[in-house]
């Protein structure tokens, strides 16, 4: 749990995890928000990569993820720096040299062409998708055909920073829907429940971010939109 607690505090310190009144892309009113676009320094990128690498290593040890990963794929745009940072951290911390690649939003029609950058996927490769936060799972669904079109690869799983535990298009979480639809398991660094348990009535940099009132709002949100 140590790296999970550190990650939650890191998100608060970086202004990525904030509390207040927000509206998600799906139109839901939420008392907390996670914006990974607020990471902006080299130090933050280095730390972020370490947290992703530790999550990957933890799940490798548990046997959830193969150690024979060929490449990390980062969906454009937010997934790009995440995949790069994670591959660097895997190499430096765990001596695991893994390729990385990502897609372009627009297909390049000159030079080498194509819509992929970085490692060129080959038949038989094992790929981990690196993303930030899943709400409805739209971005992840869009990247599956992109990867599959490149080669006959196996997607080993999906690594995300936070599991919001929210319903997708039905009565199950977006993560559960993705698993049922594509047979892909998702491994979050932390869940929203772990965020509440870690920050409730605990000071981070001299401030309590989840007091009784905020906790009550978050619990109400979980009750309305999330799946236990």
pLDDT value at residue 27: 82
- Per the CB < 8 A criterion, the answer to whether 51 and 93 are in contact is no
Residues 192 and 205: their CA atoms lie apart, in Å, by: 20
- Give phi and psi for 62, each to the nearest 5: -80, -10
Residues 6+ apart with CB under 8 A from 194: 4, 8
Domain borders along the chain are 40-198
Q: Quickly tell me which residue has 């607020």 as its tokens.
A: 38
| Helix/strand/coil percent split, the chain, to 5 | 40, 30, 30
- The stretches in the chain having pLDDT less than 70 are 1, 106-114, 135-136, 228
Distance from C-alpha of 78 to C-alpha of 84, rounded to nearest angstrom? 11
d(CA 123, CA 110): 25
How many other C-beta atoms lie within 10 A of the C-beta of residue 3?
17
Q: What is the pLDDT of residue 128?
A: 97
Task: Catalogue the active-site residues.
Answer: 108, 110
Whole-angstrom Cα distance, residue 203 to residue 101? 39
Structure tokens at 135: 């709400």
Q: Helices then strands (H, E): number in the chain?
A: 7, 11
Instruction: Determine the pLDDT at residue 108.
Output: 56
Q: What is the pLDDT of residue 107?
A: 62
pLDDT of 112 reads 55
pTM for this entry? 0.92
d(CA 155, CA 72): 10
Matching CATH number, 40-198, of 3.30.450.40, 2.160.10.10, 3.40.50.2020, 3.40.30.10: 3.40.50.2020
């Amino acid at each position: 749990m140590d790296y999970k607690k550190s990650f939650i505090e890191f998100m608060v310190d970086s202004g990525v995890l904030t509390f207040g009144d927000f509206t998600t892309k799906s139109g839901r009113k939420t008392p907390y928000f996670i914006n990974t676009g607020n990471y902006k320094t080299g130090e933050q990128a280095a730390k972020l990569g370490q947290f992703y690498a530790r999550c990957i290593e933890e799940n490798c040890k548990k046997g959830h993820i193969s150690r024979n990963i060929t490449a990390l794929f980062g969906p454009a745009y937010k997934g790009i720096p995440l995949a790069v940072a994670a591959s660097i951290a895997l190499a430096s911390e765990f001596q695991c040299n893994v390729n990385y690649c990502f897609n372009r939003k627009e297909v390049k029609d000159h030079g080498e062409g194509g819509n992929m950058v970085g490692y060129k996927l080959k038949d038989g490769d094992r790929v981990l998708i690196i993303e930030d936060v899943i709400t409805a799972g739209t971005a992840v669904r869009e990247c599956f055909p992109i990867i599959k079109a490149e080669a006959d690869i196996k997607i080993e799983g999906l690594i995300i920073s936070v599991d919001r535990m929210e319903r997708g298009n039905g009565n199950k979480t977006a993560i559960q829907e993705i698993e049922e639809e594509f047979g892909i398991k998702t491994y979050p660094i932390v869940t929203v429940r772990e965020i509440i348990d870690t920050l409730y009535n605990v000071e981070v940099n001299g401030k309590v971010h989840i007091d009784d009132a905020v906790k009550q709002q978050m619990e109400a949100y979980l009750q309305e939109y999330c799946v236990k």
